[in-house]
Structure 1
Amino acid sequence: MIKILQNRTFLFFFLGNIISLIGFGFNMIAVSWLVLEKTGSEFTLGKVIAISTLPGLVISIFTGYIIDKFNRKFLLVYLDIIRAFIIIIFLIYLNFYQFNIKYLYPLVFFMGIFNSIFWSTAQAFAQEVVSKKDYFNANKLLSASYQIGSILGAGIGGIVVHIFNPFNALWINSFTYIVSAILIFIAPYIHQKKENLDNNFLKSNFKGIEYLFNKKKLLTLLTTTIMSDVAIWGALSVLTLSISIQVYDKGTWGYGLLDGFYGVGALFSVILVGFCTKYLSRRILLKICYLFSFIALFLSAKMASIFIASIFFLILGLCNNSARIIVRTILMENVKNNIMGRVQTFLGIYTRLLVVFSSLFCGYLIEKYNIEISVIFTCFHYFIAFSGVWLISYQTKKSFSFK
């Protein structure tokens, strides 16, 4: 795994991605706290998350075509600069006008657009700059960058918001995007023009959908296991802060603790999943991961202390991210790089639709009923993921890249 970091292109991209994701962690906790501090409404927080996700649905129509056609390195650099610019404009505006919750809506809307393109581009770029035999290790390192960013972003971001204010956290967020842009810019990279890419982007995007529908077992796996990502980006974006506030009365620092321990678990998964795949098949590992994710999340809201709950979030991060690494590797192994962006377009649209529903419905359940029902709803995401793996395992013992 360390050998891949000798690839200077991947190394600078890896470091830039970590810095960028630290900033994203600051952004998430700052925005979440602003919403709950000003409104006290989990449903409003769900709406803000939905607004940040919805633009990704529209832009996803173009995203795959853009990723497969243009220079991915410079695309990542431009996206970092644009995201920094959006946050800086927002903060400068607040120097002249008193903060109102409605000002957050355009911020999260535009950030949602460019976050959507950045993450899809990062996945395709990682696949492009490493050899096929290194896909598994590249996914582990890419996942590690997400988790290091999550740990530092949520942990330090929670402290900054608690001691200072959310706006300081957003200034730091904008700075991280600038640093990320510089690191990715200096990565050595020669762009190779993609061949046979139709100039009609709609027709070109349908090739990605057609490609997946011709691989029905892969399609089944991706559309069910992606529910674990929907849980993290959707329901848990609302639920984690609510658990900290309503169950344990710990506010932002409690959110930072839970999210940070999730990140620690996810970081350890990078080592654990490599060890486990030597002794267990992928399909068995996926079943174990989704089952334990279900149990850990369910128990996390029933503990006597937030510190005990954070251990269950660590287990959740360990299991959820182990599964994510395996599924991402299967995706890379079974989808050609010259069509990866368009395949991710379909998956991105599908995921964002579910994230919008997941975040809104979770916020609604917390506000109108109670947090226990919203926990069960979020656990159900992992039940669907488990069921998808079980269905494929039941159909055949040897399923595409399962070993």
Structure 2
Amino acid sequence: MEVQRRVAPFVLTQLANFMSVTAGSMVFIAIPWIALEISGSAAQAGLVVSLTAIPGLVVIPVIGSIIDKYGRKRVAVWAELITGALTLLLPLVASLWELTIAWLIVLATLKNVLAAAGPTARKSLVPDIAVPARMTLDRANSIHEGVFATGFAFGPALATFCIAVIGSAETFIVVAAFALASGLTASFVRVVEQHEPNDASEKEPFYRYALQGFKILFATPSVLVMMVAISILAVIYLPTEMVVLPAYYSSLGDPAGLGLLISAMAAASIVGALFFEQIHKFLSYSTILRIGILGVPLAMLPMSQLPAQWAMFVGALVLGLAWGPLLPLLNTVIQRKIPANKRGRVFALEMAIWNAGPLISMVAVGSAVDGFGIRPTYTVLAVTVLIAGLLVSFNRHIKSIDAREEIPIAG
């Protein structure tokens, strides 16, 4: 007897995904904006973003282990509920006392402790919800990252609207509401999580179990080369969205312009992500990676000259289209190559990269903006991403991501 197709787990997971990412992308705008309001310094804004990324760098490998040991859905639920509750502390403190840079660092750090746990757990869960929905991994990850990009497009616009209407601190009430709604929605997902037979690593002490993600990564060249590409974008590209562009639009007094630009990038990346499955019918994984890792800096170069707003939007659209297929590609490669019992720890490393990247470069970029100006700093970042992208494109291991062997996702 044929098993009935069930799409409800997939749909509910994507609703939770959208609400969680909306909350997170609102914070990308709101935290630097509040820091600039308080200090008027791009370097101070960069310092805030960098310091508040430390919990993610330290905690995420442990979270990956918790996901693998105790369940993907369970972490997806509780991480969002706890994050939403912690987020409410910022508007509460702002209503009682004057919000300073020190307060902002403390409160944003608390909020970020588990912020990456929900996305990590949901990425690890995608193969489990794809099976009952009868979706290929290409399609499931295409939709998952398309929804992610939709939330990322909606969040900045909503954040700038909330900042203008209710104030920057009060915006975090809306952020908390989206996080809490994400956790509640994920709690209704009914799914059987796949598990392989335990190996010897399952019996190791917890700290060694947590470090297995690094061992798995370096033993899998196809995943490693993808992680290197993502690291480049995290360390060099992300500061342009989180410090350089906010500093530029803050100097213009145009928060709505910033929100619309970031949303344009994300909207274009929705298209790129949703067409990932179709693109893969004509192009290999390695070719998709090359186009993405080189397309991003080629779009950055004209944007770095700070042209008219329409030209900035054109660059943002090209950048988003190049970026769009990269995350579905990374998800698919990890899910094909890594056993289910170890998937959480490897996806946790990806999230650690996103947190560590700003930590490594954000203060330096903010200082460069203050010291040398926005245009020179943006130009140097664009050229650096291009050089790094060329090095990745010619790496001898890049072809290994095209290998067809994969971990089965259904019993």
Normalised by the size of structure 2, how large is the TM-score? 0.88
Instruction: Indicate how the Cα distance of structure 1 residues 401 and 51 shifts in structure 2: closer, same or farther if over 3 A, else same.
Output: farther
Residue 167 of structure 1: how far off its partner (Å) = 2.4
Residue by residue over 1:85-137, the C-alpha shift from the partner in whole angstroms, topping out at 9 and shown as x without a partner, is 11223322322212222211112212222112222222112233324962111
Query: Match for residue 142 of structure 1?
Result: 144
Is the contact made by 1:87 and 1:171 (CA closer than 8 Å) also made in structure 2?
yes
Residue 309 of structure 1: how far off its partner (Å) = 0.3
Q: How many residues align?
A: 395
Is the contact made by 2:221 and 2:400 (CA closer than 8 Å) also made in structure 1?
no
* CA–CA distance in structure 1, aligned partners of residues 307 and 225 of structure 2: 39
Is the counterpart of residue 252 in structure 1 residue 267 in structure 2? no
Residue 39 of structure 1: how far off its partner (Å) = 0.9
Query: Match for residue 278 of structure 2?
Result: 275
Query: Match for residue 180 of structure 2?
Result: 178
Residue 333 of structure 1: how far off its partner (Å) = 1.3
Q: Which moved more, 1:171-180 or 1:298-307?
A: 298-307
Is the contact made by 1:293 and 1:319 (CA closer than 8 Å) also made in structure 2?
yes
SS at match of 1:166: coil
* CA–CA distance in structure 1, aligned partners of residues 22 and 226 of structure 2: 30
Query: Match for residue 224 of structure 2?
Result: 219
| Runs (5+) with no aligned partner, structure 2 | 406-411
Is the contact made by 1:69 and 1:194 (CA closer than 8 Å) also made in structure 2?
no
Residue 212 of structure 1: how far off its partner (Å) = 2.1
Query: Match for residue 389 of structure 1?
Result: 393
* CA–CA distance in structure 1, aligned partners of residues 176 and 256 of structure 2: 22
Q: Which moved more, 1:51-60 or 1:129-138?
A: 129-138
Query: Match for residue 328 of structure 1?
Result: 331
Residue by residue over 1:169-205, the C-alpha shift from the partner in whole angstroms, topping out at 9 and shown as x without a partner, is 2111111112112211111134567752235112213
Query: Match for residue 202 of structure 1?
Result: 207
Instruction: Indicate how the Cα distance of structure 1 residues 386 and 91 shifts in structure 2: closer, same or farther if over 3 A, else same.
Output: same
Query: Match for residue 106 of structure 1?
Result: 106
Query: Match for residue 371 of structure 1?
Result: 374
SS at match of 1:67: helix
Two-structure CA RMSD over aligned residues (Å): 2.5
Query: Match for residue 167 of structure 2?
Result: 165
* CA–CA distance in structure 2, aligned partners of residues 228 and 382 of structure 1: 10
Residue 321 of structure 1: how far off its partner (Å) = 2.0
Q: Which moved more, 1:20-29 or 1:350-359?
A: 350-359
How does 1:329-348 map onto structure 2 within 5 Å? 329-348=332-351
Is the contact made by 2:123 and 2:331 (CA closer than 8 Å) also made in structure 1?
no
Is the contact made by 2:34 and 2:169 (CA closer than 8 Å) also made in structure 1?
no
* CA–CA distance in structure 1, aligned partners of residues 117 and 394 of structure 2: 32
Is the contact made by 1:225 and 1:385 (CA closer than 8 Å) also made in structure 2?
no
Is the counterpart of residue 188 in structure 1 residue 190 in structure 2? yes
Query: Match for residue 11 of structure 1?
Result: 11
Residue 350 of structure 1: how far off its partner (Å) = 4.6
Query: Match for residue 46 of structure 2?
Result: 46
* CA–CA distance in structure 2, aligned partners of residues 102 and 398 of structure 1: 44
Instruction: Indicate how the Cα distance of structure 1 residues 370 and 7 shifts in structure 2: closer, same or farther if over 3 A, else same.
Output: same
SS at match of 1:95: helix
Q: Which moved more, 1:358-367 or 1:127-136?
A: 127-136
Residue 35 of structure 1: how far off its partner (Å) = 0.7
Is the counterpart of residue 292 in structure 1 residue 295 in structure 2? yes
User: Once the two structures are aligned, what percentage of the paired residues are identical?
Assistant: 17
Residue 28 of structure 1: how far off its partner (Å) = 2.4
How does 1:296-307 map onto structure 2 within 5 Å? 296-307=299-310
Kindly provide the amino acid, as one letter, of the partner of residue 389 in structure 1.
S
Is the contact made by 1:235 and 1:355 (CA closer than 8 Å) also made in structure 2?
no
* CA–CA distance in structure 1, aligned partners of residues 404 and 247 of structure 2: 39
SS at match of 1:302: coil
Residue 73 of structure 1: how far off its partner (Å) = 1.4
Residue by residue over 1:22-73, the C-alpha shift from the partner in whole angstroms, topping out at 9 and shown as x without a partner, is 1222222222211111111111111111122111121134122101011221
